[in-house]
Structure 1
Amino acid sequence: MGTIFLLIALVFEISFAVYSIITKQNHKKLKNGIRIGLFVAFVILTLTSVIVWSLRWVLLAILLFLLAVKGTVSLIRKNTTPKKYKTSKVVLKTIFMVVATVIAFVPAIVFPQHPSPKVTGKYGVGTATYTYVDKNRVEEFTDKGDNRFVNVEFWYPKNADGKYPLLVFSHGASGIKVSNASTYTELASRGYVVVSIDHPYHSFYTKSDDGTVATINSDYNREITNLNTEGVYTNEELNELIQKWMKLRTDDMNFVIDTILEKAKSDKNPVYQRINTDKIGVFGHSMGGAASVWLGRERDDIDAVVNIDAPFFSELVYKKENDSFIANSKAYTTPIFNIYSDDVWGQLDSTPIYVANQLNNKQFKDAFTTHFKGAKHLSFTDLPLFSPILANMLQGGKADIDPYYCIETENDLILKFFDDELKRIGHFNPKETY
């Protein structure tokens, strides 16, 4: 919608400039009237929800408002001697308006208005955000000596009775806790309490209850970038980085789970009182998926794991004598469902860090595995819906799969897996390829 409106605006500005040049007149009254009309039309479209108001429209609204005010003032002024027509002035004003219009439309184009993925459950969904402070850990990314804080957001069944399984989500390498909001919403609508974690300094941006802001750490960001560049790290160096990344991630997830379990015992907050602490699942995308798999091996109270497009870091054993990785020889007993894009599927048999993910790994003989053909790494998040331009830039091109089909199918499969493992509803039997 933003692109269409931008094209209309640019056609108007350029056409009016051509008309003025041909007729050698400014047509000031006509232009002012049209601009007032455009602002009125924008307001009407917003009030009738053709344009769904959000921050993406703020710059455009300000521009249209200022032009409408200027036009109104000009029209109600007493008649004065008309300004002499100058082609150069018309051209300069047109160039200025074209640049201003493009800038005003940038948010609406980068973050286009889009329908939400379908929600199929009977429950309304409530949300709540909290900041948990871990008094047993000092923040390693700063030198202030502050304790580590972790921001979380809950999606839960609203106006519902009973208790529901807890699902804990961890975002990707530089993601944010709302990266898969459509997934959390669908799960909550079907009777789950979902908590998503912002891992400070691993997340792109997070803000705590007291206003503290943490953005992605530059050193960590460089490490992640180098991970995807062949030849930068030896396997030994990569192993050290993996251990460091996973310790922070799993420490955060353990802390959040333990905090929630403690609060569920005595905190009267209805969010915590809706949680069935005997049923816990973990899931995550990319690095968050790797951390979820790690937790599924470490904790006895994890009943199910969904790994979205991630390597099994917990299952890698580094062999210094030949600088290589091999797969852990101990069976993985927690039920697990793996979802892969083309980006990862093509690396399972060729990239060292995916050696444990290989389909012939006997330690995962009972694992469910699905491949989404045509999907790229970020297809399993809401980003391709929220900002197709950013998604394509970050993942190196457009995915061949329809983004709504991908995310809605993913959400449905995750729901059915957790239903089977945590609620004993249905029989989970996914296809090998979607």
Structure 2
Amino acid sequence: MRRTLAVLIVLTACSAPAPPRSAAPSPTPPRPATLAAPTGEHPVGTTVLHLTDASRPDPWNLDAGARELRVTLWYPSGRGAGERAAYMSPRESELTLAGSGAAGVPPDILSRTVVYATTDAPAPGRHPLVVLSPGFTKPVSTLTSLAEDLASRGYVVAGVDHTYENYATTLADGAVAECLACDSDTDPGFGTGVVGNRAADVSFVLDELLKKKPAMIDPTRIAMAGQSIGGASALAAMAADPRIDAGINFDGTTYARLPRGFARPFLFVGTPQHAPGGRDHSWDRDWNLLKGWKRWLTVTGADHQSFTDLPQLQSALGLKPLAGTPGAARLAEITRTYVAAFLDEHLRSRPQPLWAGPSSRYPEVKFGS
């Protein structure tokens, strides 16, 4: 299915429908984007792990006898020289743009996005872990701005590319896996199936990271966050795996009903369509099953991709900001601030006054219940 680039910016196949808003082409030739700089005190390192779960077949590729996952780690690093990391490869950029229906921009433009992490930098110390899961068709690199900021604040971040669920994932042998799941996204029960697969992916990733990186990761302080169906998967993964201490859902319809409630902290952050009593009722249903600390935030003017890197990539994609939406820098600040406050409160036991109620510094953020 072809998708226009404007649809990429506003919607994904795994969100409740929202009114489309047009984005006018930029009159100037696009140039590579530069992500917002991390705000914490630590330099940021990054590395890629290729993990294979031989205990289960791949749910999308029937020819694969095992589930192979690509995991990107961002972490607080020591001082030292290192090569600047790539946002994605030229081939990943090409396939991502083609799958999104993009035209009129260089096919490698996303691969030239400027980031701040350096590859394979030293990783001193042991830190809390945050797992990130992206929206459907999106690589986890579209959450890089948040990941780098969290790493600079002292968190290890594990971004999971759920193979065959986005337009391009580079595997251990260099082959690029494309989106096999995209042919099934209108099937009955599709969202529920994806959420279940991702919960299994995350539990396997935790097994491997806690075994392979014991000097880097504190196993008693783990959280998960995701956007769109990645956010729905955070809720499902918490229900399935008690090692996950806290979770965040960015604007993800929760297709799979929780089998039971739990009392661990959870944060909903969404667009106005996800306001209490709004057009998407899945959060109302799940809210009542959460028995611990919980908050429900909506951001005025935000659209479905506002909590990802995509607002920061618009100029590179030849687009102007959508009318009525906060600017890219402001959206990054809001996302980073509230995520860090949530994690500091619940993984580091540092009380945050931001949770007392609406803030005059962030009037766009509305509290609901």
Which one scores higher on RCO, CA 8 angstroms, separation ≥ 6?
2
Whether contact under 8 Å (2:199, 2:233) holds in the other structure is: yes
- For each residue in 1:139-175, what CA deviation from the matched residue of structure 2 results, as whole angstroms up to 9, or x when unmatched? 2323424321000100001116431001100000111
- Code of the residue aligned with 1:382 in structure 2: it is D
Partner of 2:352: 427
How do residues 109-124 of structure 1 correspond to structure 2 at under 5 angstroms?
109-110=29-30, 112-124=31-43
Partner of 2:176: 213
How do residues 10-409 of structure 1 correspond to structure 2 at under 5 angstroms?
109-110=29-30, 112-159=31-78, 161-217=124-180, 220-224=181-185, 226=186, 237=188, 240-265=189-214, 273-315=215-257, 330-345=260-275, 348-351=277-280, 353-357=282-286, 361=288, 363=290, 366-388=293-315, 400-409=325-334
Partner SS state of residue 132, structure 1: strand
Partner SS state of residue 187, structure 1: helix
- Code of the residue aligned with 1:334 in structure 2: it is R
Please give the alpha-carbon distance, in whole angstroms, between the structure 2 residues aligned to 1:362 and 1:210: 43
Please give the alpha-carbon distance, in whole angstroms, between the structure 2 residues aligned to 1:140 and 1:386: 31
Please give the alpha-carbon distance, in whole angstroms, between the structure 2 residues aligned to 1:388 and 1:197: 26
Aligned residue pairs: how many?
A: 289
Whether contact under 8 Å (2:33, 2:315) holds in the other structure is: no
Partner SS state of residue 53, structure 2: strand
Please give the alpha-carbon distance, in whole angstroms, between the structure 2 residues aligned to 1:423 and 1:366: 15
- Code of the residue aligned with 1:119 in structure 2: it is P
Partner SS state of residue 255, structure 1: helix
Please give the alpha-carbon distance, in whole angstroms, between the structure 2 residues aligned to 1:109 and 1:331: 51
Please give the alpha-carbon distance, in whole angstroms, between the structure 2 residues aligned to 1:262 and 1:365: 29
Superposed displacement of residue 210, structure 1: 1.2
Whether contact under 8 Å (1:376, 1:399) holds in the other structure is: no
- Identity over the aligned pairs, expressed in percent? 25
Superposed displacement of residue 241, structure 1: 2.2
Superposed displacement of residue 132, structure 1: 0.4
Please give the alpha-carbon distance, in whole angstroms, between the structure 2 residues aligned to 1:202 and 1:415: 28
TM-score (norm 1): 0.61
- For each residue in 1:333-363, what CA deviation from the matched residue of structure 2 results, as whole angstroms up to 9, or x when unmatched? 11011111134338x54345444256xx364
Stretches of structure 2 that go unaligned for 5 or more consecutive residues are: 1-25, 79-122, 359-363
Superposed displacement of residue 415, structure 1: 0.8
Q: 1:357 to 1:123 in 2, by over 3 A?
A: same
Partner SS state of residue 131, structure 1: strand
Superposed displacement of residue 222, structure 1: 4.5
Whether contact under 8 Å (2:126, 2:217) holds in the other structure is: yes
Name the larger-Rg structure. 1
Superposed displacement of residue 377, structure 1: 0.4
Whether contact under 8 Å (2:46, 2:75) holds in the other structure is: yes
